[in-house]
């Protein structure tokens, strides 16, 4: 980003912008994220983010949900660490630039690090426990006051419909390149059927979930190695338990990244899965329903499948949604997720009988 631009934006938030360098930060696929840091060696003091308004057309909904959550949690738990968004000098949650861009500024939490996958089972337990705590702390909040930030975001039936529409209008070249995955996808039709049956029977209560509960959205302390706080509240909204448990299982079951192209490296780590389920159950034990507990592992299967078709959908749509680094990036991501999914489906009976009964 040009120096003049970020300096001007930072000033609107009352920051002495000339002290900082502005560098790309993090691994998000959607928003553009920068760190404001004094030198390339120091940790940033602030995180500056430009919201992707193609994905989030109403960023004020994000601020509104975050404020409701913060106020509710604060009332019962003064010490809970929740990321703050700074207001501009004239009191707005975002700065809007002349091109219609929405910007926000977040103080960086010092002495922390992030991980793309869990390094040990204890970390998997802690991560799941943190996301479970967030939802438990929000138990009792008026769910209807929260906005649906992205409609149908984790609605698998919608994703299936969207996918079918995309396949029908994709280019011959892309469909040809995706041929094997389109074939593989067919064997997972039972997942959508199960999801629809759960929805129709209204088996799961609507609560407030983070809805992007991957391990990379946790800040860990460099000194204690324990979670300090959760970041990325962009999709904090009403939903079901399938979402958060799903993304945890998706991001920590294997030690590979979601774009690992060597499928032989993708592994099912039972000890990590067990710890995730236990960490989550420990946090939610007083409020979780029988059906929620029974369907925890299905959350992983549903979410990994949905993410596989979201990546494949984006590939077939010529990469409109996710940021890519090479031309087949979304195809590689989809292939990776289908491989992980197969491993997870194969282990389902064992995992459910051992940990969820
Ligand atoms: C996107 O940009 P990021 O990393 O926060 C996506 C999630 C996906 C994830 C895949 C709004 O999140 O749903 O799980 O990529 N967020 C949105 O890693 O689509
Ligand atoms: Mg996110």
Query: Which tens digits make up the pLDDT trace of 178-233?
Result: 999 999 999 999 999 999 999 999 999 999 999 999 999 999 999 999 999 999 99
b/e sequence 21-57, b meaning 16+ C-beta within 10 Å: ebeebeebbbbbbbbbbeeeeeebbbbbbbbbeebbe
E strand segments, the chain: 21-24, 32-37, 46-51, 95-96, 102-107, 112-113, 207-209, 218-221, 227-230, 237-239
Q: Which residue has the tokens 């002349």?
A: 98
Report the pLDDT value the prediction gives residue 346, as an integer from 0 to 100: 98
State the Cα–Cα distance between residues 116 and 257, nearest whole angstrom.
Answer: 7
Sequence-ordered list of residues with C-beta below 8 angstroms from that of 73, at least 6 positions apart, any chain? 80, 82, 137, 138
Report the pLDDT value the prediction gives residue 4, as an integer from 0 to 100: 78
Dist. CA 165 → ligand 2 center (Å): 25
Residue 300: which H helix or E strand, with range? helix 296-316
Measured CA to CA in angstroms, residue 15 lies from 9, 97, 334 at distances of: 9, 17, 41
Looking at domain 121-355, what is its CATH homologous superfamily?
Aminoglycoside phosphotransferase (APH), C-terminal lobe (3.90.1200.10)
Cβ pair 269, 331 in contact under 8 A: no
Instruction: Tell me which DSSP letter residue 88 carries.
Output: P
State the Cα–Cα distance between residues 184 and 305, nearest whole angstrom.
Answer: 11
Report the pLDDT value the prediction gives residue 6, as an integer from 0 to 100: 84
Burial (CB count within 10 angstroms: exposed 0-12, middle 13-18, buried 19+), residue 190: exposed
In angstroms, how far is CA 343 from the centroid of its own chain?
21
Ligand 1 atom closest to the Cα of residue 29 is 2
In angstroms, how far is CA 110 from the centroid of its own chain?
22
- The overall average pLDDT reported for the chain is 96
Q: Which tens digits make up the pLDDT trace of 316-350? A: 999 999 999 999 999 999 999 999 999 999 999 99
Ligand 1: which of 29, 162, 317 to mutate, most ligand atoms within 8 Å of CB? Answer: 29
Ligand 1 atom closest to the Cα of residue 31 is 2
Dist. CA 321 → ligand 2 center (Å): 13
Q: Is beta strand 218-221 parallel, antiparallel or unpaired with respect to 227-230?
A: antiparallel
The domain defined by 3-108 carries CATH number 3.30.200.20: yes
Q: Which two tokens stand for residue 144?
A: 């209807």
Cβ pair 50, 101 in contact under 8 A: yes
Burial (CB count within 10 angstroms: exposed 0-12, middle 13-18, buried 19+), residue 290: exposed
Dist. CA 75 → ligand 1 center (Å): 30
Which residues of the chain does CATH 3.90.1200.10 include? 121-355
Dist. CA 234 → ligand 2 center (Å): 6
State the Cα–Cα distance between residues 173 and 86, nearest whole angstrom.
Answer: 46
State the Cα–Cα distance between residues 347 and 349, nearest whole angstrom.
Answer: 6
Identify which ligand lies nearest to the alpha carbon of 306. 1
Q: Which two tokens stand for residue 149?
A: 């930030």
State the Cα–Cα distance between residues 53 and 132, nearest whole angstrom.
Answer: 29
Identify which ligand lies nearest to the alpha carbon of 246. 1
Report the pLDDT value the prediction gives residue 2, as an integer from 0 to 100: 73
What residues does ligand 1 touch, defined as CB less than 6 Å away? 28-30, 55, 212, 232, 235, 258, 307
Dist. CA 19 → ligand 1 center (Å): 32
| Cα within 13 Å of Cα(139), Cβ side | 15
Q: Which residue has the tokens 């040990």?
A: 120
Which residues of the chain does CATH 3.30.200.20 include? 3-108
In angstroms, how far is CA 69 from the centroid of its own chain?
17
Ligand 1 atom closest to the Cα of residue 321 is 19
Report the pLDDT value the prediction gives residue 40, as an integer from 0 to 100: 84
Helix (H, G, I), strand (E, B) or coil at 26: coil
Report the pLDDT value the prediction gives residue 322, as an integer from 0 to 100: 98
Beta bridge partners of 227: 220
Beta bridge partners of 22: 36
Identify which ligand lies nearest to the alpha carbon of 154. 1
Report the pLDDT value the prediction gives residue 131, as an integer from 0 to 100: 98
- Ligand 1 atom 17: the closest Cα is on which residue? 30
State the Cα–Cα distance between residues 218 and 207, nearest whole angstrom.
Answer: 20
Low-confidence ranges of the chain (pLDDT < 50): none
Q: How many residues does this entry show for the chain? A: 357
Dist. CA 88 → ligand 2 center (Å): 23
């Amino acid at each position: 980003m040009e120096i003049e631009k970020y300096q001007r934006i930072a000033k609107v938030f009352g920051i002495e912008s000339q002290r900082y360098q502005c560098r790309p930060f993090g691994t998000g696929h959607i928003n553009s994220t920068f760190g404001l840091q004094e030198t390339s060696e120091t940790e940033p003091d602030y995180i500056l983010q430009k919201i992707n308004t193609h994905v989030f057309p109403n960023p004020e909904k994000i601020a509104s949900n975050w404020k409701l959550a913060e106020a509710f949690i604060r009332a019962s738990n003064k010490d809970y660490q929740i990321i703050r968004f700074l207001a501009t000098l004239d009191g707005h949650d975002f700065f809007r630039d002349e091109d219609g861009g929405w910007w926000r500024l977040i103080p960086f939490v010092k002495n922390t690090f992030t991980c793309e996958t869990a390094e040990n089972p204890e970390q998997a337990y802690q991560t799941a426990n943190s996301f479970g705590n967030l939802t438990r702390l929000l138990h009792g909040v008026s769910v209807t006051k929260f906005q649906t930030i992205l409609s149908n975001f984790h609605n698998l039936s919608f994703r299936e419909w969207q996918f079918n529409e995309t396949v029908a209008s994709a280019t011959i070249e892309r469909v040809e390149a995706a041929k094997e995955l389109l074939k593989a996808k067919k064997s997972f039709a039972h997942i959508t059927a199960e999801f629809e049956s759960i929805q129709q029977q209204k088996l799961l209560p609507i609560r407030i979930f983070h809805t992007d509960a991957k391990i990379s959205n946790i800040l860990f302390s460099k000194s204690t190695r324990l979670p300090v706080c959760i970041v990325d509240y962009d999709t904090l909204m009403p939903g079901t338990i399938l979402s958060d448990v799903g993304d945890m299982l998706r991001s920590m079951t294997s030690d590979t990244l979601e774009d690992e192209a060597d499928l032989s490296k993708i592994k099912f780590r039972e000890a990590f899965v067990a710890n995730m389920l236990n960490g989550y159950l420990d946090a939610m034990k007083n409020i979780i329903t029988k059906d929620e507990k029974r369907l925890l592992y299905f959350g992983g299967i549903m979410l990994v499948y949905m993410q596989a078709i979201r990546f494949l959908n984006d590939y077939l749509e010529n990469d409109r949604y996710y940021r890519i680094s090479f031309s087949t990036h979304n195809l590689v991501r989809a292939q990776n997720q289908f491989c992980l999914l197969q491993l997870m489906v194969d282990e389902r009976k064992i995992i459910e009988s051992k940990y969820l009964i």
